[in-house]
Structure 1
Amino acid sequence: MRVIVAGSRTITSIEEVTRAITASGYKVTEVVSGGAHGVDWCGEQWAKTNGKQMKRFPADWHTHGWRGGLVRNEEMAKYADALVAVWDGQSRGTQHMIRMAQKYRLKIYVHEVR
């Protein structure tokens, strides 16, 4: 299963992200990452540690300007099967990723960290 691991840039605990991935119950074959700091980076480290494939979707800020992250989120949602969102309850980017996952009918697991 291709799983987006995304979330707040302020969350930097690999252990917290690992707990979220495990709690989701998803059979992860590939981690899909936006390549940002925080949860994205932790998800990439989890993929390396667990021998999983990884695909990065870096935001194209040059082409899309401030919409770069939004365009990237939609591209990831079109590609993936599921989302593990590790969210601080405030990040608008994570909230947008959740909305894109809903739009494309992905399986969604939200792990809130406050």
Structure 2
Amino acid sequence: MIRKAFKLKVNEGQFEEYKLRHDNVFPELVQELKSAGAKNYSIFLDDETGCLFGYVELDSVEKWNDVSKSEACQKWWKYMDDIMDTNPDMSPKSTELREMFYLA
């Protein structure tokens, strides 16, 4: 199993909207993520900075990366573009975090 952590940024004043949208995430995106082997996927918010911390467990990094090419993911990115810090292709700006400690 691969553990992956990353950070993103939600725009100030959009925290509740971000939560609302994720409470109603597109079922087709959920299916894409599960088909890619994603498990225990969580996103946490630092209210002071608007920084989001994501954590997911994967079977394959390649399968995880392939999700971004799916129609469901592209649709989600477009939907989220107005409330997040994004790249020109509407993907969220994301910084991978390096693991420094793990307690099993």
- In the superposition, the TM-score normalised over structure 2's length comes to 0.33
Greater relative contact order (Cα < 8 A, sep 6+): 2
- In the superposition, the TM-score normalised over structure 1's length comes to 0.31
Which structure shows the bigger proportion of residues in helix conformation?
1
Larger radius of gyration: 2
